Amino acid sequence: MTLPDFVVLGAARAATTSLHYWLEQHPSITMSSIKEPNFFAFDHGVRPSAPRFDAEAIAVKSVADRTAYEALFAHARPGDRIGEASPLYLYVREAPDEIARLLGRPPLVAVLRNPIDRAYSHWLHINRQPAEQAIPGFRAACEAEIAAGPVYTPYASGTHVLRLGRYDEQLDRYAARFGAAALLVLDYAAVTVDPQSALDRICDHIGVPRAPFDTGVQYNRSGVAGGRMAAGFAGAIRGAQPRAKALLPAPVVRRLGRLRAAYDRPRAAPSVPADLRARLVEWYAPSVRRLVDDGWIGPQQWPEFA
């Protein structure tokens, strides 16, 4: 039986793709042969009330079968620490129990990003728009979600870009199930500015020696539509990836991911206007206060909330 020894939980749009590709460089770490298998976001028949996947792209690219999931780690070397990264896990309510049922109490890694920046990056990622449409579109999405209230739609990613940033309740579920010591919580800014230090902390947490990593490529960047040719090629790969993960051999899928990273170079998006940021600061403030009170983040980590 080959199953993960550690899990990178998310958050979405918080460098989990980069962590996957960086960690697999380590001589004593094996990452799943495809990134983001989403295995523990499925029901697996344990609770009939568990959610179903109603977003086709997520369902197609995910691995729900136990045998197929274990095959993702068949290339592991003897003695390796085995891991996977699926950013849905932090948000999906059933994931902690599914992880515990199969893996026991593994080391867990979460990366938290300023929730406003995370939400905007998420919206840009699923709605690659020209620059002039980015802010009106994001504003409309935020207003619609705020008006909808606390609806839980984990598999319809276009409808919950704000809710994924309510990290306090998400971390509460994992701390209650595994204990706070099982969770290594990193800051997205630290991961992107000084990735080697963040990777050193992950190595310590999962029990492997520290090692140098090549972090020159950051994966899955967000922004507005870039040059037509590069954007078209990257978009074709991006659109094909969910079905490719289900149909093609894992090494081919891995190469597609790296190729997409090379060509997917979106242009910098316009900044979120001050009035919209102020509205979102107010909306997220109770969640951020709880994160600070519980010691998950420092009081000045996201200064606009201080």
Q: Which domains are assigned to the chain? A: 6-225+266-305 (3.40.50.300)
Around Cβ 151, how many Cβ atoms within 10 Å? 10
Tell me what pLDDT residue 301 has: 96
- pTM of the complete model: 0.87
Over residues 41-70, the pLDDT tens digits come to 986 654 434 445 555 567 777 898 999 999
Q: What DSSP state is assigned to residue 32?
A: -
Backbone dihedral region of 34: left (phi > 0), alpha (psi from -120 to 50 degrees) or beta? beta
Burial of 41 (0-12, 13-18, 19+ CB in 10 A): buried
Handedness of CA 90, 91, 96, 99 (dihedral sign): negative
Residue 192 CA to chain centroid, in angstroms?
14
Q: What are phi and psi of 268, to 5 degrees?
A: -60, 135
Ranges of the chain whose pLDDT falls below 50: 46-51, 229-231, 233-234, 237
